[in-house]
Structure 1
Amino acid sequence: MTKSTVTQNGPNPQSFKICRLYFWPHLATPTNPLNDFFILPMKLSVRPLFSLLLLIVFAATLSCRTAVRHSLSLIEFEKRMLVPPPKPVFNATLLKYAADDVGGAQAKKEVEQLLDGNFASLGRYRSFATWRRFNHHDARARTSAGYPVMLRSPQFYRYWSEFRRLLSEWSRNRRFQPDIMLDLVRLVKNPIDGKNGTEGSSEEKRYSSCAVVGNSGILLKSNHGALIDSHEVVIRLNNARIEAFVGKVGSKTNISFVNSNILHLCARRNGCFCHPYGQNVPIIMYICQPAHFFDYAICNVSHKAPLLVTDLRLDVLSARIVKYYSLKRFGEETGKSFDEWGAAHDAAMFHYSSGMQAIMLALGICDKVSIFGFGKSESAKHHYHTNQKAELRLHDYEAEYAFYHDLVERPQVIPFFSEKFKIPPVVIYQ
């Protein structure tokens, strides 16, 4: 009988060392206990090394999988960047109606009359031709039939010559050319920078950020003044007052954007004063009436900062975009034919607002555009600085708001822009 069994008097002393091997449950059951007893120290030394190797293999595998996933993600991202998003499908009929320049023929006729010196058709815009400072009566000066003659001063003819030159050059650009957005840096920013002595090394460089400040009464409900002034360039509209509203609208002004009706009023003041933001602030305006070029000819002589007129190609582009959104809104809300839009909006007088074209200007000269003071509410005044509550009928503000929304959310659905032109990021602050 072997001595490995336990006797009644207790364990056998000779078998104690062998039985101790079975107290480690994680070891495999040895076939030869004595051999395993002497091999045990070598197993204990190899086991940590084997675990370390397994850990290294696991880490390498995990790293490879992560690298592969990252590479696949990059490839997928590059594919998305290389493959342009699908182009929107525009309503051809809507585009056709939006492109119809209803007032084009009448505008051309009016320009021709002005170039010929005929002001009889201007109605209330018959202004400079009857200014007293340019005209006087001489009792001795009469026609062959004996009628008195109104004589004009030499100064009038100097301005008249300049007026005809400016009007002729401006009117030749009445055409649709969407690439005009790519030329606004040269036409607008570079002259302003050159006058200020801040012209950059690159003629194509745009302003880093621009704030276009509208005149809506909703500005009184917020305190955006400091945020507005933090932009590189601040554009204000139609000489809106900023005194007593600095906390709401800011105090900084780099460009004053006006319609020519504003300049027409300024031209009647001594020194053609039209500088509520300072005489060194550039003025950019779009022409409401061609006769206002005479006001421009007068004021440009005394203006220290640049006094620029928007290119008529930008005016045409702005008009098409606004009319497109107005037609689209009219069709969706009324279900009527586009033919009936003209009667509802007085097509011959329909026009974009000053704010809309100021935003169009900013899109061409700024890397980032922030919009303030555009919108309305029932409790807000139409203008923050006046008591006016009614809107002008010749504008479709709701259509323009839809355009601004698409600038922020869906710029790809805006028609008439050139494919070469990239719309910069736009943010609207309410």
Structure 2
Amino acid sequence: MNSKGKALIVLLCLTTICVSWRGYMSFSLPQDERPCACERCLSEDDPWFMKHFNKSVEPFLSANYNISEDVFNWWKCLQREKGNFRTFRETVDRLFLTVPPSPEVLESSPDRCRTCAVVGNSGNLMKSHYGPLIDFHDVIIRMNAGHTEGYEADVGTRTTHRVMYPESSVDLDNTTHLVLAPFKILDLEWLTKALTTGFKGRSYAPVKSKIKSNMDLVMVLNPAFMRYVHDTWLEKKGSYPSTGFLALVLALHMCDEVSVFGYGADSDGNWSHYWEKLRNKKLKTGGHSGNTEYRMIQELNERQKLKFYTGF
């Protein structure tokens, strides 16, 4: 091959490389301009996702954050709260004399990839062998009374955050964040007293008088965040979101990569807990729209905004 032919081949190769590189650069931001160090970041452009995901909504209450009376009026209807807005604010003020005035949250950064595992309580976790995969994540969110002891192979051993309310509360170790999902003023009062002098009140179900938890790691979900999940993510289906779905959307706000385990019915179509033998096979999801929540999780999985491990 003569020199002109070789030069032409080299020129064609360089042109191909340049065109390919320009195409790559048009779809991939430089690392220092990306919001995280993951292979994919949740906040990367997707009109459908950005229509639902509102980064400006504060997931947690803090001493310096005041919800609006409009939000309070929505929230007070969840469990027929009779107290007024002033009582709510006074109760919140007392709570933040006991727990940290602002939550401890790992912020996003171009040089880190924050991974979350959200572990539900579905019976479909049985024999899944997801335990090691769950424990591999940075943040591991469980909810209510979800067990680990005796189920380690399927659900893992670690818990960094546990979302619960008084009627579903359990004692925690010194390294786990207690994330309260408050549905009434009584829940806020319970948290203050259960961490200190002991709670003596009554609710619709028995509640623990005292709870073991590291007070420095306590966090409280924001009623405005709860409303946002209900209105935007669930399109106002159901009376209010389940604790599990609140935890899932919370993970989308706390992490760059989210994996979801233990949601939905088991392989027989029953809504059951993996640590219990189901007695009532007609059990439904109460005031929550279980089907709507499940379809939203499937949609997020299909759009690669999270990874959904079904368990069967």
Scaled by the length of structure 1, the TM-score of the pair is 0.50
Aligned partner letter, 2:185: P
What's the offset of the Cα at 1:247?
Answer: 0.7
Q: Deviations over 1:154-198 (max 9, x none)?
A: xxxxxxx973635899xxxxxxxxxxxxxxxx74425xxxxxxxx
Q: Which residue of 1 aligns with 2:145?
A: 239
Q: Write the distance in 1 (CA, Å) between the matches of 2:275 and 2:17.
A: 55
In the alignment, the residues of structure 2 paired with residue 295 and residue 76 of structure 1 have an alpha-carbon distance, to the nearest angstrom, of 57
Change (3 A) 1:322 1:101: farther
Taking the aligned partners of 2:290 and 2:104, their CA distance within structure 1 comes to 26
Return the alpha-carbon distance in structure 1 between the equivalents of residues 45 and 113 of structure 2: 28
Contact 2:81 2:185 in 1 (8 A): no
1:375 alignment counterpart: 264
Partner Cα distance (2:76, 2:5) in 1:
81
> Match of 2:234?
323
Alpha-carbon distance between aligned partners in 1 of 2:113 and 2:83, rounded to the nearest angstrom: 35
Shift of 1:77: 4.1
After superposition, the Cα gap between the structure-2 partners of 1:303 and 1:249, relative to the gap in structure 1 and judged at 3 Å, is closer
Contact 2:71–2:223 under 8 Å retained in 1: no
User: Is 1:163 the counterpart of 2:99 in the alignment?
Assistant: no
- Hey, what's the Cα distance between the residues in 1 that align with 2:236 and 2:21? 39
* Larger relative helix fraction: 1
Residue in structure 2 matching 1:304, options 200, 204, 214: 214
Q: 2:251·2:258 contact (CA, 8 Å) conserved in 1?
A: yes
AA paired with 1:299? A
Which residue does the alignment assign to 2:275? 385
Asked if the contact 2:76–2:82 (Cα under 8 Å) also holds between the matched residues in 1, the reply is yes
Output aligned runs, 1:30-429, within 5 Å.
Answer: 54=2, 56-79=3-26, 87=47, 104=74, 107=77, 110-112=82-84, 115=87, 163=91, 165-166=93-94, 187-189=103-105, 204-205=108-109, 208-263=114-169, 274-275=170-171, 277-301=172-196, 303-305=213-215, 306-324=217-235, 326=237, 350-379=239-268, 382-388=272-278, 389=281, 390-410=283-303, 425-429=305-309
The aligned amino acid for 1:59 is K
Quote how far apart the aligned CAs of 1:428 are: 0.9
Q: Which amino acid aligns with 2:275?
A: H
Secondary structure, counterpart of 2:105 in structure 1: helix
CA 1:105–1:397: 2 relative to 1, 3 Å: closer
**Superposed displacement of residue 363, structure 1:** 1.1
Once the two structures are TM-superposed, the CA of residue 78 in structure 1 deviates from its matched residue by 4.2
Give per-residue Cα distances to partners, 1:347-382, cap 9 Å, x unaligned: xxx111111111111111112111111122452551
Greater Cα radius of gyration, structure 1 or 2: 1
Q: 1:113 to 1:85 in 2, by over 3 A?
A: closer
Distance 1:219 1:189 in 2: 28
Shift of residue 113, structure 1, vs aligned partner: 7.9
Q: Structure 1 pair 400/62, CA: closer, same or farther in 2 (3 Å)?
A: same
Q: Which has the higher contact order (CA 8 A, sep 6+)?
A: 2
User: Percent of aligned positions with the same letter in both sequences?
Assistant: 22
Aligned CA distance change for structure 1 residues 188 and 408 (closer, same or farther; 3 Å):
farther
Q: What secondary structure is seen at the aligned counterpart in 2 of 1:211? A: strand
- 1:246-291: per-residue Cα shift (whole Å, max 9, x none)? 111111111111134324xxxxxxxxxx32x524321102112222
Structure 2, unaligned runs of 5 or more: 30-43, 52-69, 197-211
Aligned match of 2:32:
none
CA distance 1:111–1:214, change in 2 (3 Å): same
Alpha carbon RMSD of aligned pairs, Å? Answer: 3.7
Rounded to whole Å, the distance in 1 between the matches of 2:105 and 2:175 is 15
Letter in 2 for 1:324: E
Change over 3 Å in CA distance of 1:359–1:219 after alignment to 2: same
Task: Please tell me whether the aligned partners of residues 218 and 381 of structure 1 are also in contact (alpha carbons under 8 angstroms).
Answer: no
Alpha-carbon contact 2:142-2:159 (below 8 Å) kept = yes
Provide the C-alpha distance between the structure 2 equivalents of 1:223 and 1:249, rounded to a whole number of angstroms: 7
Shift of 1:208: 2.2
Deviation at 1:229, TM superposition (A): 0.9
Q: How much has 1:70 moved relative to structure 2?
A: 2.3
Tell me the residue number matched to 1:198: none
Q: In structure 2, how many angstroms separate the alpha carbons of the residues matched to 1:315 and 1:428?
A: 22
Q: Equivalents in 2 of 1:245, 1:407: separation in Å? A: 27
Q: CA shift at 1:76, angstroms?
A: 3.6
- Distance (Å, rounded) in 1 between the aligned partners of 2:75 and 2:190: 24
What SS class does the counterpart of residue 307 from structure 2 fall into?
A: strand
Q: Distance in 2 between matches of 1:85 and 1:251?
A: 35
Q: 2:277 and 2:14 mapped to 1: Cα distance?
A: 64
Any conservation in 1 of the 2:121–2:274 contact (CA below 8 Å)? yes
Secondary structure of 1:319 counterpart: helix
Give unpaired runs (5+ residues) of structure 1.
Answer: 1-50, 92-99, 117-160, 170-185, 191-202, 264-273, 327-344, 412-424
